[in-house]
């Protein structure tokens, strides 16, 4: 009997504790839901309520009444989820969003003394700078007017310094000062005796030279040097050495048979390893080429990477 009494008492205590923890939640449709709220199950959508043994019901936040939501606001874990669903009264919302407009006091211009344009410019640093620039432009204009009208620059600039703007206008209105033309005087003629002596020089007469005298032979004309085409240079930095460059600049050097115009032309390539003179590009790849180099009667191919080429010269073989 005593054991049964103790078990019954424990069950009563558990029931009382469960009933104490159970709460009643009012919904928007007027229904009431009794159970234990589980704050750890709260999400943006809703929260779970334990309505019985192993019985749970998920209730969305929008389904709770406003009074129930305000009670749930007291729980710090639920405050962030519940706050967006609480309706704020219109008057309170208006007070929160009301913008206070501050009207500035009107300016009283009567307290400021009246100034003219020049007076205002002299009363500020910016105005003084503008006046100095205008005065310097006035003097420069006076100098240009003096040169244009052929007047003395010192005179025009002096008048313009004393009378700004007006001075350059006055001298600009004056016609250009043209200097008088210079009178031409003939040069004194040479003595007629000396001229007659030069005219009657017996050694200048035809046949006056001695038949056995020495004569200067006419210099034989120098043989004309063969004209060679001008050497064309391509330097790194001004040109990008790649496969497209060689195919577009030197298309005639890829064939076995050379045309008459390029038959005697050679390619001189200056690289970091030395200089190579070739008559034909045997092979070309994306990053290098094979240049056919002749040494005497023998020939061989030299591999030249594009990155080592410093300069390329297209010239005649005898240049």
pLDDT tens digit sequence for 28-52: 888 888 888 888 888 888 888 888 8
Residues 6+ apart with CB under 8 A from 237: none
Short-list 261, 295, 297, CA closest to 278:
295
| pLDDT reading at 245 higher than 70 | yes
| 199 within some domain | no
**The token pair that represents 204 in the structure block:** 């200048």
Binned at pLDDT 50, 70 and 90, residue 216 comes out as low
| 183 within some domain | no
Residues 137 and 64 in one domain: no
Angle at which helices 125-148 and 153-162 cross, to 10° = 150
Residues 238 and 312 in one domain: yes
Taking the C-alpha atoms of residue 306 and residue 242, their distance in angstroms, rounded to an integer, is: 6
Taking the C-alpha atoms of residue 174 and residue 159, their distance in angstroms, rounded to an integer, is: 14
Residues 67 and 145 in one domain: no
Residues 46 and 88 in one domain: yes
Residues 6+ apart with CB under 8 A from 114: none
pLDDT for 51? 82
| 185 within some domain | no
| 35 within some domain | yes
Binned at pLDDT 50, 70 and 90, residue 224 comes out as low
| 208 within some domain | no
pLDDT for 17? 47
Residue in the structure block whose two tokens are 């497209």? 244
Q: Look up the CATH number of the domain holding residue 305.
A: 2.30.30
Taking the C-alpha atoms of residue 191 and residue 262, their distance in angstroms, rounded to an integer, is: 67
Structure letter (DSSP) for residue 86: S
| 115 within some domain | no
Higher per-residue confidence, 120 vs 50: 50
Calculate mean pLDDT across residues 279-300: 87
| 131 within some domain | yes
Calculate mean pLDDT across residues 100-120: 68
Strand order in the sheet with 46-52: 23-26, 32-38, 46-52, 55-60
Taking the C-alpha atoms of residue 166 and residue 142, their distance in angstroms, rounded to an integer, is: 10
Short-list 267, 266, 275, CA closest to 310:
275
Q: Which domain holds residue 268?
A: 232-316
Q: Alpha-carbon dihedral of residues 139, 141, 146, 148, nearest 10 degrees?
A: 170
Higher per-residue confidence, 157 vs 216: 157
- Number of domains making up the chain: 3
Binned at pLDDT 50, 70 and 90, residue 79 comes out as confident
Asked which of 45, 77, 92 is the last residue of a domain, the reply is 92
pTM surpassing 0.85? no
What's the burial of 278, exposed, middle or buried (CB within 10 Å: 0-12/13-18/19+)? buried
Range list of β-strands (E), the chain:
23-26, 32-38, 46-52, 55-60, 232-235, 265-271, 274-284, 288-295, 298-305, 309-316
| pLDDT reading at 77 higher than 90 | no
Of the listed ranges 124-128, 172-176, 235-239, 279-283, the least confidently predicted one is 124-128
Taking the C-alpha atoms of residue 98 and residue 104, their distance in angstroms, rounded to an integer, is: 19
């Amino acid at each position: 009997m005593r054991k049964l009494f103790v078990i019954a008492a424990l069950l009563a205590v558990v029931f009382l504790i469960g009933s104490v923890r159970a709460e009643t939640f009012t919904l928007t449709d007027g229904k009431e839901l009794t159970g234990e709220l589980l704050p750890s199950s709260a999400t943006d959508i809703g929260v779970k309520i334990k309505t019985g043994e192993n019985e749970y019901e998920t209730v969305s936040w929008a389904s709770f009444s406003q009074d129930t939501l305000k009670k749930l606001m007291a729980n710090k874990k639920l405050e962030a989820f519940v706050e967006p669903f609480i309706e704020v009264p219109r008057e309170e919302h208006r007070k929160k969003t009301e913008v206070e407009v501050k009207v500035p006091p009107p300016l009283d211009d009567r307290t400021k003394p009246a100034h003219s344009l020049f007076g205002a410019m002299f009363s500020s640093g910016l105005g003084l700078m503008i006046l100095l620039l205008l005065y310097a432009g006035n003097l420069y204009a006076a100098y240009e007017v003096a040169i244009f009208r052929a007047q003395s620059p010192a005179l025009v600039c002096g008048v313009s310094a004393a009378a700004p703007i007006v001075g350059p206008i006055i001298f600009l209105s004056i016609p250009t000062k043209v200097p008088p033309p210079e009178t031409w005087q003939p040069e004194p003629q040479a003595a007629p005796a000396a001229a007659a002596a030069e005219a009657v020089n017996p050694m200048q007469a035809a046949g006056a030279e001695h038949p056995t005298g020495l004569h200067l032979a006419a210099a034989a004309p120098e043989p004309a040097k063969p004209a060679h085409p001008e050497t064309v240079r391509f330097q790194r930095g001004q040109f990008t050495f790649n496969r497209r460059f060689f195919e577009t600049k030197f298309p005639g050097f890829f064939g076995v048979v050379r045309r008459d115009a390029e038959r005697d032309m050679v390619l001189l390539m200056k690289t970091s390893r030395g200089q190579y003179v070739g008559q034909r590009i045997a092979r070309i790849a994306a990053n290098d080429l094979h240049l056919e180099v002749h040494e005497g009667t023998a020939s061989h191919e030299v591999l030249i990477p594009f990155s080592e080429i410093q300069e390329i010269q297209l010239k005649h073989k005898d240049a």
